Structure 1
Amino acid sequence: MVSGEHVFAEYLSNPDDVKEEWWWKDKENDDSRETDQPPPLEGGGEMSERQQLPVSNILLQQQYPETVVLQGATGDNRVALTFDDGPDPRFTEQVLDVLNEYDVPATFFVMGARADAYPAIVTRIQEEGHIIGNHTYWHPNLVEEGEISTLEREVTQTEDKLADIIGYRTKLFRAPYGFLYNELVEKLAEMEYTVVGWSVDSLDWREGPPEEIAYNVLSNVQPGAIILMHDGAEWEGDRTNTIESLHQIIPALQAQGIEFVTVPNLLNIPYQK
């Protein structure tokens, strides 16, 4: 099988061609579609891209309160864990194991390309009671791309792929890096999506130690919080510390009587079209 590094080199030199034929097959001997590495984040790793913030999500939520959500009601002692950039065979199933250990549901915003590569992991996410949202197909920086057509193509392609796997069309969308601007939000509203942001950033994309990730969450969380974490990474990225931090975050909040719920339950919104 062709290595992930080889495919990545091909991607850099001619991304459009590789997008069309991402998974390589040995037509005589191998029916597998998977490389040894997950498809890359087209817009770049979280570490580099998240240093900028084109438009405040708080302002977008104020302008489009029926479309953009950042947190739930502060009167209920409930929070929602969310995970981006999977499914990633290196980390997602370990995250699922921890969630299962503590009987905690979560919401996963998945990339279409990775869902296509690892449908069994997507199926496991669904079967274990978690909710699945749309995180674009190739994870581009939508603001940098600057084209409504890019958003529409990325979202629709992912929606179609997810519908094939989970049997419904999700209404939940999260932008790569959280980057959007007004016209993109308006297009997403037209496409019947709820745009899900967050109120607590674990900053796990910085790959700090588990204690630091846990502190970032526990020192900022409040009832109604939507917590951003990542179960997927670029090829050189590592989410091991994210997984370890969950063993600190979940029991600490449960000891305070805080209940973990999915985003649709937290916000009392539908999750499918």
Structure 2
Amino acid sequence: MYSAVVFYGVTYLSAGFFVKAVCSGPDSKKELCITFDDGPHPEITPRILKILKEHSVPAAFFVIGKNIEGNEGLLQKTDQEGHIVGNHTFNHSFWFDLKSPSGMKLELKQTDDKIREVLGKYPLYFRPPYGVTNPPLYKALRDTRYSTIGWNVRSFDTVVMDKINLLDKLKKALKPGAIYLFHDTNDRTVEILESFILYAKENGYSFVSIEKFVNKDAYAFN
């Protein structure tokens, strides 16, 4: 029984078992947030940004530090167009969860420093790889200023291969206070994004910045 509880706490960020996270907004208004993980991607991210700009939709991008190299201009564009940039570790390795607290903090600092170098500010929003949390991560985050950001609608856009099925899944999950998890790393996300935005708006939903749900600053300047 204990093992089952721990497994649930490790794998479900919304449980808040080890790390408290913002996984949804208020359900009193038809508002939602969309977020993207694992960029910046030199080909996919610009296409995502174009769609968001055309429909005046704010988003949050949780970036992998190593992917910033060579994509600095793209990160600046993301920021300049009003989107939030958050920390998603430096390597997003499968082995991140096995690191010591000091090893985790080093990855977070590497990404913070890279974002600071490009944007002139430090990110205060963090999303753990795969949404997995554990005691070492709790210790790594304990003395930091991060707000941990989760989601309550996982698109599975890296898994669902049929874009029609993917879009249908997203439509069915529409609900007030939703935080959608997408990835700006594959064509399927680009292909369904505009249709999803239009569907949500047609059904009376508005897209808001993740800052509204978190209610804490997204950046620090020192």
Both proteins in one fold, TM over 0.5:
yes
The aligned counterpart of 1:55 is 11
Give the fraction of aligned pairs with identical amino acids, expressed as a percent. Answer: 30
Deviation at 1:57, TM superposition (A): 1.3
Higher relative contact order at CA 8 Å, sep ≥6: structure 1 or structure 2? 2
In structure 1, the residue matched to 2:170 is 217
1:118 matched to 2:71? The reply is: yes
- Is 1:178 paired with 2:131? yes
Amino acid at match of 1:56: Y
Structure 1: distance between partners of 2:101 and 2:139? 10
Candidates 172, 194, 205, aligned match of 1:247: 194
Once the two structures are superposed, the pairs formed by residues 14-29 of structure 1 within 5 Å of their partners are none
CA deviations 1:97-131 (Å, max 9, x no partner) are: 11111111100000111112210100010011101
The secondary structure found in structure 1 opposite 2:219 is: coil
Q: Is the 8 A contact 1:85 1:109 kept in 2?
A: yes
SS in 1 for 2:86: strand
Partner of 1:257: 204
Q: Which amino acid aligns with 1:182?
A: P
| 1:230–1:242 contact (8 Å) kept in structure 2 | yes
The counterpart of 1:85, out of the listed 28, 31, 38, is: 38
What SS does structure 2 have at the residue aligned with 1:226? strand
- In the alignment, the residues of structure 1 paired with residue 83 and residue 72 of structure 2 have an alpha-carbon distance, to the nearest angstrom, of 15
TM, length-normalised to structure 1: 0.73
Say if 2:123 is the partner of 1:193: no
Q: Secondary structure at the match of 1:251?
A: helix
Given that 2:9 and 2:15 are in contact with CA atoms closer than 8 Å, whether structure 1 keeps it comes out as no
Moved more, 134-143 or 250-259: 134-143
- Aligned in 2, Cα 1:192/1:252: closer, same or farther, shift over 3 Å? same
Return the letter of the residue paired with 2:111.
T
1:174-207 CA deviation, whole Å, 9 max, x = no partner? 1111111134134224211111110000110114
Q: Which amino acid aligns with 1:59?
A: A
Residues 171 and 144 (structure 1), Cα distance of their counterparts in 2 relative to 1, 3 Å cut? closer
Structure 2: 5+ residue stretches without partners: 1-7
Report deviation, 1:63.
5.8
Over 3 Å counting, the alpha-carbon distance change for 1:213 and 1:185 in structure 2 is farther
Cα deviation digits, residues 131-187 of structure 1 (max 9, x gap) = 100011111235542321221011000001101111111110011111111341342
| 1:206 is the counterpart of 2:159 | yes
* 5+ long unaligned stretches in structure 1: 1-51, 233-238
Tell me the TM-score normalised to structure 2 length: 0.89
1:172, 1:195 within 8 Å by CA — same for their partners in 2? yes
RMSD: 1.9
Q: Residues of 2 paired with 1:157 and 1:142: CA distance?
A: 17
Tell me if structure 2 keeps the 8 A contact 1:143–1:179: no
User: Aligned with 1:133: secondary structure?
Assistant: strand
The DSSP-based 3-state class of the residue aligned with 1:117 is: coil
